[in-house]
């Protein structure tokens, strides 16, 4: 069983801009890292209804989870992110950049390759990032460069920055995983369709409760060795169920059903990567084992 090698923690680089005049050099104002997940609780009682025979209709309770979205809302002229806007200090945006970094994985590296996506230029940065198939450890770093017509102390009295004409702010989001999120991911994959036949990504109805029970067993393990064995059992169950194409018909069990695993819908690999990442966090798996 391959083990997930946890990438080095994202390093927030301190950017020093060259001084073009007295009191113009500044270091980046770096904000605390924020955590995002691939799935979140949804609306359990939406507009759908279920038919209950003689009892009539009841709330369907169909939509239990929804895919996560990293949505960056800049406001007017990035006022939601620029400290000068909060201080009512006139400013001019010089550049905005977003760098997305996906870590290197041992498992499923063909479907989740390590890569860096860099977007620069104020109107050209992407503000909407679907998270369902992002792997743990992925980071998004937003860097904003702006200038002021008069020296402005962006980090206040006592901070490392003196009043300056040039300013940089950095924001970082990091993708995380947990056992609770794996449970929600299983529910999501059971609800999201795979292909035009509207077959769920997890199309084997008998498999879902088995996987949920295995996740619960990992949670209740009292020793790292027990957790490692249970994580391996979960991974084997997932790998045995991987299917490359959608089942022809939405048959709830039997031949052809399983867990989708294609370049467009790598649900199987997503579960494997998250399980190994969580195993490392629990101390059940070690780098390079």
pLDDT for residue 84: 93
For the stretch 104-163, pLDDT in tens is 998 899 999 999 999 998 777 999 999 999 999 999 999 999 999 999 998 888 888 889
Write the CA distances from 37 to 71, 172, 257, integer angstroms.
12, 14, 27
Query: The tokens of 126 are what?
Result: 């992407």
Q: pTM here? A: 0.83
Average pLDDT over all residues of the chain: 84
Task: Give pLDDT, residue 7.
Answer: 33
pLDDT number for residue 62: 64
By the 8 A CB rule, do 173 and 140 touch?
yes
pLDDT of the residue at 18: 33
Parallel, antiparallel, or unpaired for β 193-194 and 199-200?
antiparallel
pLDDT, one tens digit per residue, over 167-184 is 999 999 999 999 999 999
pLDDT in the model for residue 165: 92
* Residue stretches of the chain with pLDDT short of 70: 1-26, 43-50, 58-63, 284-289
97 pairs with which residues across the strands?
120, 143
Predicted confidence at residue 255, as pLDDT, reads 81
Please give the pLDDT value at position 16: 31
Which of 182, 178, 142, 146 is CA-nearest to residue 34? 142
3-state secondary structure the chain: CCCCCCCCCCCCCCCECCCCCCCCCCECEECCCEEECCEEECCCCCCCEEECHHHCEEECCCCCEEECEEECCCCHHHCCCCHHHHCCCCCEEEEEEEEEEECCCCCCCCCCCCEEEEEECHHHCCCEEECCCCCCCCEEEEEEEEEEEEEECCCCCCCCCCCEEEEEEEEEEEECCCHHHHHHHHHHHHHCEECCCCEECECCCCHHHHHHHHHHHHHHCCCHHHHHHHHHHHHHHHHHHEECCCCCCCCCCCCCCCEECCCCCCHHHHHHHHHHHHHHHCCCCCCCC
């Amino acid at each position: 069983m391959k083990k997930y090698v946890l990438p080095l923690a994202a390093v927030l680089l301190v950017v020093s801009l060259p001084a073009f005049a007295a009191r113009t050099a500044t270091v980046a104002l770096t904000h605390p890292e924020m955590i995002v997940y691939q799935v979140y609780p949804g609306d359990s009682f939406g507009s759908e209804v279920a038919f209950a025979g003689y009892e009539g209709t009841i709330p369907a309770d169909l939509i239990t989870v929804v895919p996560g979205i990293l949505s960056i809302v800049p406001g007017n002229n990035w006022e939601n992110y620029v400290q000068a806007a909060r201080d009512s200090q006139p400013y001019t945006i010089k550049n905005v950049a977003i760098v997305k970094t996906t870590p290197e994985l041992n498992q499923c590296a063909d479907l989740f390759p390590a890569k860096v996506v860099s977007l620069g230029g104020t109107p050209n940065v992407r503000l909407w990032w679907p998270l369902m198939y992002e792997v743990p450890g992925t980071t998004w770093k937003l860097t904003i460069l702006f200038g002021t017509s008069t020296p402005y102390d962006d980090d206040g009295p006592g901070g490392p920055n003196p009043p300056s004409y040039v300013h940089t702010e950095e924001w970082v989001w990091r993708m995380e995983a947990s056992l609770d999120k794996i449970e929600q991911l299983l529910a999501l994959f059971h609800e999201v369709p795979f292909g035009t036949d509207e077959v769920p990504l997890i199309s084997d109805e008998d498999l879902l409760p088995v996987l949920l029970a295995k996740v619960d067993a990992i949670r209740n393990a009292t020793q790292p060795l027990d957790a490692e064995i249970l994580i391996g059992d979960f991974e084997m169950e997932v790998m045995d169920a991987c299917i490359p194409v959608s089942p022809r018909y939405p048959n709830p069990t039997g031949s052809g059903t399983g867990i989708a695993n294609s370049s467009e819908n790598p649900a199987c690999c997503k579960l494997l990567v998250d399980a190994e990442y969580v195993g490392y966090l629990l101390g059940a798996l070690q780098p390079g084992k």
